[in-house]
Amino acid sequence: MAPLIDARILVVNAGSSSLKLRVLDQQNEVLLTTDLSAEHGRFDRDEVDRALSGIGEIDAVGHRIVHGGTFFRDAVLIEDEVKNKLESLSSLAPLHQPPALAALDLVSGLLRRVPHIACFDTAFHASIPQAAATYAIPEDWRRRHAIRRYGFHGLSHAYAARRAAEMLHPSVEELRTVTCHLGAGASLAAVSGGVSVDTSMGFTPLEGLVMATRSGTIDPGIVLWLQQQAGLPVDEIDEALERRSGLAGLAGTSDMKEIITRADAGDKDARLALEVYVHRLCASVAAMVASLGGLDALVFTGRIGERAPSIRELVGERLGWLGVALDSRANETSHSDADISAPGAKVRTLVVESREDLEIARQVRALVAGSG
């Protein structure tokens, strides 16, 4: 492949209900953004063809792939062997991997003459030490089924940590950062010297924080009890934990904005949902700090992280013992990429716009430059 440092990159981000296409130029300026609807990860070929016909010349395509398993620790050129391995990982991320592969098939079929590169949400966390990655379960389970902590949202965490270093001006190698990706899915990463050393999601995206519709971490004995004593089938339990738990299970809605409004008005269910969410978030941040041995910067990103100042305020209040302190006005008025720390705060608190597209484009250029 020829070097693509000065290139137009198409970033493909597929979900079960949407396909996001974004074109970035050599300066990472966004030239075009197109959001297409999907139904259960199935995309309309004609609609995608029309969208791609209007984007102009493309030099490379970067695909966001949720799961790279133990196969992939970095971005990789997509060839038949790579694709086969990606398909074999679908059972580990059944809600995310199949739509990404469907989009890959569709877009690569329409854009045949350019390199297609997979960028992984799990790859950033491949660096976490064995003590953080290993579950205390039988060795043959771990070996036979490759059960370990994989972690997710790695593209977002990698970008947020790098952007935090740019905003604070030290080298990224000097920072101990906890990045909080708070959206419909939510996770934390402990980043030391630009490298992930711990994360809250695990073998699947179900572990960790309370999320919009996912439970986050629960006692595994609950699942066993529901099967053995309540007689619930595994498919029903899976559906409930993935789609009817989290904020939706606590407050009847997955919309954090609505929950905050209802909680402020005295709604008990909404107040409980908010308290459970913040309790788990703060406890998990503290766990990440323990993995880092200290904290220099706390970074909020993702839809909730960027748009819910009341959540950031509650977290700041509860983590004051760590040196976190927020400037109230800066917190309330912040837009993307803002320092909301109180003057003199020991720990800097930042709001960073989630830009997985920039991280994907960076990885695509780095891979192709190294191959040129």
**Which residues are designated catalytic?**
121
Hey, what are 7's tokens?
A: 């290139």
CA torsion angle for 271, 276, 279, 281 (degrees, to 10)? Answer: -110
- Distance in angstroms (rounded) separating the CA atoms of residues 290 and 192: 12
Buried b (16+ CB within 10 A) or exposed e, 300-328: bbbbbbbbbbbbbbbbbebbeebbbbbbe
- Distance in angstroms (rounded) separating the CA atoms of residues 68 and 24: 24
- Distance in angstroms (rounded) separating the CA atoms of residues 12 and 26: 17
11 neighbors 64 (Cβ within 8 angstroms)? yes
Strands of the chain, DSSP E = 9-14, 18-24, 30-37, 60-65, 76-77, 116-120, 176-182, 186-192, 195-199, 297-301, 338-339, 348-351
- Distance in angstroms (rounded) separating the CA atoms of residues 77 and 272: 46
DSSP 8-state assignment for residue 8: -
Helix or strand or coil: residue 324?
strand
Distances in Å between the alpha carbon of 77 and those of 126, 140, 155, 250, 332? 18, 32, 17, 43, 43
- Distance in angstroms (rounded) separating the CA atoms of residues 200 and 168: 25
Q: Can you spell out the DSSP letters for 215-274?
A: --S--HHHHHHHHHTS---HHHHHHHHHHSSHHHHHHS---HHHHHHHHHTT-HHHHHHH
